[in-house]
Amino acid sequence: MFHFFRELIAGLPGKNVIRQLSSQSRPSIPKCSFKAQKYKGPSFEMIRGTLKKKLFPSVTPYYKTPLLIHEGKMQWLFDHNGKRYLDMFGGIVTVSVGHCHPKVISALEEQMNNLWHTTSIYMHPMIYEYADALTSKLPENLKVVYFVNSGSEATDLAILLARLYSKNYDIISLRNSYHGMSFGAMGVTALSTWKHPSPAGPGIHHAMNPDVYRGIWGGSHCRDSPSQTDRHCSCESGQCDASVKYFDQVEEILKYSIPKGKVAGFIAESIQGVGGTVQFPKEYLKKVYNLIRSNGGVCIADEVQTGFGRTGDHFWGFEMHGVQPDIVTMAKGIGNGFPLAAVVTTPEIAQSLGQALHFNTFGGNPLASAVGLAVLNVMEEENTQLNSKNVGTYLIDKLQKLRKYECVGDIRGKGLMIGVEMVNNKETREPLSREYFQAIWENCKDMGLLLGAGGLHGNVFRIKPPMCVNNNDINFTVEVFETAIESFVKGK
């Protein structure tokens, strides 16, 4: 995706694409009582120069003129000029309860004044308190946790556990998936935009992605969402033909590419994140989980983006599929922006890691544990899961009216994990060109709305804000988004 953004930023759209909006025609941003401090840091030019000269070129900021953000509060971000933005991407689905939430800050400050760091060679109380609280959120036998620092680390450990426990080697993931950028995680990631020309994660097989909008099969009754694809659906009531056909593709891999009955595991996101908020057909995961287990493997749920109530109806995304995984990976929203991630599994699977020493210097450190526990407490106190359901459904309903535009191909998601796929042609579903996508994207930013971008073709707006947003924020989001689309349509 960084390759896409470099090309996107370099390929500036012509003046005919972006229609300049007057201040009178721009939607009014909701009021906010918080006042940002005046920026006193290095100049924009100095920071941008350092970015170009001292950091890897893969560190690519959004937008033609990158934003210099210096302060955040709940759903708001402030740039160095004091301009306020509504953050509807949450630092890539990471800020869960709000930027600089006071209760999380307080917990971190208290722990910092007490103890910063010790590893597992000594005990400290916070990790045990947090482990109890986190595992209490998971069903049945998923009660053993190993703390790490990132989603990529969690993916690597999950793959290792699957292989050690099953005593098999081959792992199946889905095309269009993203599970991280470490050596092992890059193997199960299946997006060409994130693939380097270097060996990564051996023993991996990528099954056909069960995408009911862009895939071979699927239609208007196939996914668990307030918004369905506009494709015709041949499914009968209570039965999803698409899930059966995509399931058959996984079965084909087991028949032809893996030693009989010897798969190690299967990993999937509950809703694909970086791939463009892609949802699977109903019952698909349930069928695949049963198949994997009958062939000697374990099932891994990647909850890095869908976990912690973001999808609304459930605390974990896998629950909406009616499945219980053997291993769960989590990161991002778990720490509200603090480096924290975890792998949760059963006692039996956890025991397999004891075959050799295994150590993580910073995993479960006192600061991270304090933050993680505070985030869980805030989620309960402020009922962010219910807010995700109510506000997210309201947002999806409001977005539906944008289907009238030829460039809006699909609207999908649950709770506050939403994607809007942009196309050149509704019938062919040809992805909207990069310069056209950027025209809308940049216009939204200029009006104070920050959205994410994703999908293989970089043509999906990813809307995954802090779970504290409200209906006023949603009204502004949709008004800005439609204004930008309307500007693009008239200027095209």
Residue 59 lies in a domain: yes
Q: Are 154 and 341 in contact (CB under 8 A)?
A: yes
**83 and 177 in a common domain:** no
What phi and psi, each to the nearest 5 degrees, are found at residue 235? -70, 145
Task: Give the residues of the chain that fall short of pLDDT 70.
Answer: 1-24, 237-238, 492
One domain for residues 316 and 393: no
d(CA 16, CA 445): 18
Same domain, 356 and 400: no
Give residue 491's identity as a one-letter amino acid code. Answer: G
Quote the distance between the C-alpha of residue 255 and its chain's center: 32
Q: Is residue 418 domain-shared with residue 325, that is, in the same domain?
A: no
The pLDDT value given to residue 10: 47
The answer to whether position 294 is within a domain reads: yes
Whether residues 174 and 315 share a domain: the answer is yes
Cα gap 338→95, rounded to integer Å: 9
Note whether 17 and 159 are same-domain residues: no
Same structural domain for residues 72 and 139?
no
pLDDT at site 2:
46
Task: State which residues form the domain around 422.
Answer: 2-88+384-491
Whether the pTM exceeds 0.85: the reply is yes
In a domain, residue 213? The reply is yes
Say how far apart CA 467 and CA 414 lie, in whole Å.
Answer: 13
d(CA 414, CA 126): 33
Burial of 301 (0-12, 13-18, 19+ CB in 10 A): buried
Per-residue pLDDT at 314 = 98
Place of tokens 């199960």: 188
DSSP for residue 278: B
Per the domain annotation, does 93 fall within a domain? Answer: no
Say if strands 204-207 and 170-174 run parallel, antiparallel, or are unpaired: parallel
Q: Which of 362, 382, 402 is the last residue of a domain?
A: 382
241: domain CATH number is 3.40.640.10
Question: Is 437 a member of any domain?
Answer: yes
Tell whether 97 is covered by a domain.
no
Encoded amino acid at 229, one letter: T
Boundary of a domain, candidates 382, 409, 430: 382
199: how many CB neighbours lie within 10 A of its CB? 9
Backbone angles phi, psi at 288, to 5 degrees: -65, -40
Residue 471 maps to a domain: yes
Taking the CB of residue 398, how many other CB atoms lie within 10 A of it? 18
CA distance 86 to 63: 16
Report the SS3 class of residue 260: coil
The CATH number of the domain holding residue 83 is: 3.90.1150.10
Residues 310 and 430 in one domain: no
Q: Are residues 378 and 421 in the same domain?
A: no
Give the DSSP H or E segment for 173: strand 170-174
- The pLDDT score that the predictor gives to residue 58 is 86
Residue 96 lies inside a defined structural domain of this protein: no
- For residues 295 and 322, membership in a common domain is answered with yes
Residues 458, 191: Cα–Cα separation, whole Å = 11
Question: Largest Cα–Cα distance in the chain?
Answer: 67
Number of folded domains that form the chain: 2
Among 342, 366, 382, the domain boundary falls at 382
Tell me what percent of the chain is helix, strand and coil, each rounded to the nearest 5: 40, 15, 45
Q: How far apart are CA 403 and CA 406, in angstroms?
A: 7
Q: For 324, what's the count of Cα atoms within 13 Å in the CB-facing half-sphere?
A: 8
Residues 83 and 232 in one domain: no
Among the residues of 257-365, which ranges form H helices? 284-294, 347-351
Residue 372 shares a structural domain with residue 398: no
